[in-house]
Each structure stands twice: as structure tokens, then as C-alpha cells.
Structure 1
Amino acid sequence: MPISETQKAGLRDLLLNEKNSPVLLQLVNSTTKNVWKTEDPEEALRLLTAHIPDIYTLLYKRAITRELLFSYWHTRQPNVATDFTKADLVAKVIQYWEQEKGTESNITSRGQAAVSVYATYKLNDENYPIHAIARKFGEWFFERFNSDSLSLVDLWTDAALHLTIVASDGINELECATAAEVLSALTSAKKQFGFHFNPNLTHAGIQGRMDAYGQVMVLCCGTLHTPKSCVGVFECAFGLLRDPYADNNWKPKKFKCLLKSELQPPGLYTLCSSKTLQAALELPVPTDDLD
């Protein structure tokens, strides 16, 4: 659904001010991939609303942070409580714009349309190429890792690992910086504790992001099992790069893993429950193919 005139007026209220105009110009640069440069906020807003298909896609851009949305919402509705998640703030801000402009009956119909668009947005979000890459990689990696068939050729030679193991007797951390050391450290930890890694391969448990260096980040979590029971959870961030000498396939270069024992592990562990991956979840989500 194209950005409506009401939403354009709301965006003007949100972004056309001394504090947020730099964010607006940053959005234009990232959206047009620096092809179109402008210092005029009005022109920048016209470009954004012309090239971005709907209001949710725009407000979910990385440059529009939770802090920016909360500050705006709190200024306009200081006595109305809200959740602090970005999804809730986006919904509240759009609802505020609609309520300011329409009649009560019109608000209801617009609100229903907004819910429908949001549901479609979330559904499409799961099908972005970067999330498909993440799911495919996660399935491949943990299948090979659990079956002890992961090999050195599956990793970049200068792969690096930061491994943290949290158990009842303390915290152990390990860092290494070659493929052989990474593979040895991961395999040793798995064998020492007898772990089987059960990744959550739904969208709630594995997603893709893009870091500042162009690496595809695969963010994944799941549960740790022994032959007798579920004994803990894990959180992993993999940095992937294409290898031109391996049919241009994605290979892991960076690993950051947390293995944590728990007396009562959850049945299904999700990214929103993760403590170590929240900053990575704020990284951008490309919507196009990663060629």
C-alpha cells in the first residue's frame, strides 16, 4: 500500500526538524545508494515517499531507531504507555497519525488496513533473501556439526571464534583465529559435554543481517541436548563471505557462540530471548538479492 498523504504529513512532523533532518538525509543516501544527493529536507522526503513502497518499510529502516520513535511518541502522547519494542512504537506512531487526521469511523477502517499491511509486511519479511540464506546455512551447518562431518574446507582459513561457555561452576571464554583452531575448539566443546545442537530454524530462531563490512550475519539460537535431556541453550552469530574459489558459496569467517547450561531450558528458544544478539539484531536487513 503506497504511503498515504496522512502518513506523508506524519513523516514531515517526525523528520523535518533540526534534530531529525540529518536522519532524513541519511535515509535518502542509503535508499538511493548515494546516487541522488540532496541537502533539501523537503526534496529528501519526496524522494523517500516516491521510492519506498509502504510506510512500514520506511519506518523499519535502521536509521530510524527505537530511541527516535520513542522520543517522538513521548513528546506527542506523554501520558500514554507503550512497549519499548520498535514494532510497537512503529504501530503506535502510525496510529497516532491516522487518529489526528480522520474521523472515528475512518480511523477504524484505516487501522484495519494498517494491521493488514503490517501482517503482510511481516510475512514478506520472512522471505527476504538474507533470511533464506540464514536458514539454509543454519540447517547445513548444524547438520554437519552434529554429525562430526564439518571440515576445514567448510571454513575460511583465517576464521576466528569467540566462544563463551556458561556453566554452574563458572564462565569459560576462548578466542582463536585459524580454521583449524576454530574447528578444534567447537568440536572439543561438543564432545566434552556430549552436546547435540538443536537450532530453532523458524524465523523466530534464525535470521540474517548485514554488517558494516558487507558480511552476511547469521543470527541463530536453539537448545542444547544430551542423550538423556535438554540441558541448556545456545546463541550464535556467524559472519559469512562468498568464496570465489568454492563456487562462490557462502562460508563462515567469524563465529561468536554462547553455550549456557540451564536447569529448566525453554522448549523453544527464540532470538528475542537472547542476551548476546540484541545489538546484531539492530543491523540492517537487505530486502533484495545478495549478488
Structure 2
Amino acid sequence: MSGLSETQRAGCNKILNSMSKGDLLSLSDTVTNKLIVVENVAEARETILSFTKHAEELLKRKKVNRDLIFKYLAKEGVVMPPNSEKHQLVKRTLELWSSGKAVVDESIPGQTDETRQRPTTGTVSTEVKAEVGFDPLVLGQQFCQWFFQLLNSHNPSLGQPPQDWGPQHFWPDVKLRLVSRADNEQMEDFLGAELVSLRLIALTREEHLILSPNMQPHGLRTLASPHGLVLVAVAGTIHRHKACLGIFEQIFGLIRSPMENNSWKIKSVNLKIRGQDALGGTETVAPALSYNSTELQLLCS
């Protein structure tokens, strides 16, 4: 997940909210090296926040100009001399966020109470409780955000520090089925945390792919079984450098580990990749899931 605290994320989001659409889309291109295509301002904001390693980096971007920061501080009740330079405003904003006095309760579009309250660092693990009000969809959203950011951080072309990937995120007997279809269909099966972890990381580290999940309702579906298994199904696009290579659908089976603070670990992964040639000219922007609830239930049982 991004390196922003909840306070910094809310503050950055307010500043991004006051930017023009053109500047937002341009900033999204800059932050992702044009590797992720966004469809609208909401996606641009989310992408910028996800790819920002720390708050100072975002505040120092050219598109986040002096006036934007000055107005943000004024709205937060921080009065600065009108002739303050940008670096002074940046410093004051970071101080405000670290003091905890900034207002963070402004809703970020697409967030629910549960996602807003969670810390944005560490693994997805222990933040979602399975008591009353447990929402598998919230878990699915958090998990996908965490998983794909972690996986993509190992792609050398993004120039990000690689995050903590490894077999520790999987159950020892995890299964991976990888089906890829370009000219012909290939199927690979892997068993065990070490092998599954190595095969998945090879997608980004060696093959230089970027997996961009579609977190819209038609791209993400979750299902919880009475026995504690939660299925998270997500569709998305696959990129290499500036080219969109095709689409993917990925189904994760997640089960809590009582030995590790009840954190969620991956029990199964089913990944289908379809290259552009195999798509026959269908639209690849924000792909939808082809699995329905009945098919997911069969996988759950």
C-alpha cells in the first residue's frame, strides 16, 4: 500500500480535489510514468495516491503549485504570509499533518466507513474483523489494493522500491493455476507457498508486466463461505511499458490464520490471462468479470 498515513492521504486528496481535470490526468501520467491509463478524475486521484511513496514527494510535484497548497492551508485554518514560498508551504503542510490537527473526516469518493478507518500501512491482514458487520467486499477492495501494489512494486520499469513479497503471504499448501491465452492456450499449475510466490513475482520482476485491477463494481466480486473461505474475483488490464497487452481475471481464496493475528492469507489463486490477439478486438478498458456468483460458489464449495 502507499506510504501515506490516513491524515496525509486525506490532506493530499483535498488538494487533488481542487486541481483541474487536465492537471490531474497529467499528474497521474507523471506519477505512473504513463503506465496506467485512467478513465476519469476519480481514478486519477486514486492512482496518484496509490503510487505516491510519501507526502512530500506529491507536494513537491510541479502540478501541485504554490497557490493550491496556500489555499489548502487557509481552509485548514493555517494562516501563512501571502508572500510565502512553495517550500515553506510544503514544510508547514507536513507539520500540520504530523501534528494530527488536520481534518480527516472528509469522505473520499468510493470509500466506506470501514475502508476510511483502516491504517494504510502494513498488510491487509488484521484490519477487517469477522464479527458483526464483516463485509467481504471491503476486504476484497483492501486486499486487491494491497496485493497488486505489492506485486507491481517489483517491476523494475516502475522504479519503485520493491515491497515485502514472499511465501509468508500464502498458506503452505496454496495452489496456483495460471492459464494464458495468446496464440494458443497454456496452463500451468503450482503447489506450495514457495513455488506460487516465485511464479507470481516473475510476472512483474522478470516479465515486466503491470497488473492494473478494475476496482469498479463490475470488475470486482467477493463471496464468503460459511466455513471462513472468502473468494475475491477481480478483472483488470495487463501492461508492459506503455503498451496494453490484454486483460486478466484472477480469483483468490483467502482464509484467516489464527496463528498470525487472524491475518488473511492466500489459499488459492486462479489467474487467467488473455492477450490482445485472443480478445478479437473487444474493449480492454476497465474489463468486467466473466464469472458469475454460481461459478464462484462452486469454487467456494
Tell me the TM-score normalized by structure 1.
Answer: 0.49
| More helix, by proportion | 1
Tell me the TM-score normalized by structure 2.
Answer: 0.47
Which of the two has higher C-alpha Rg? Answer: 1
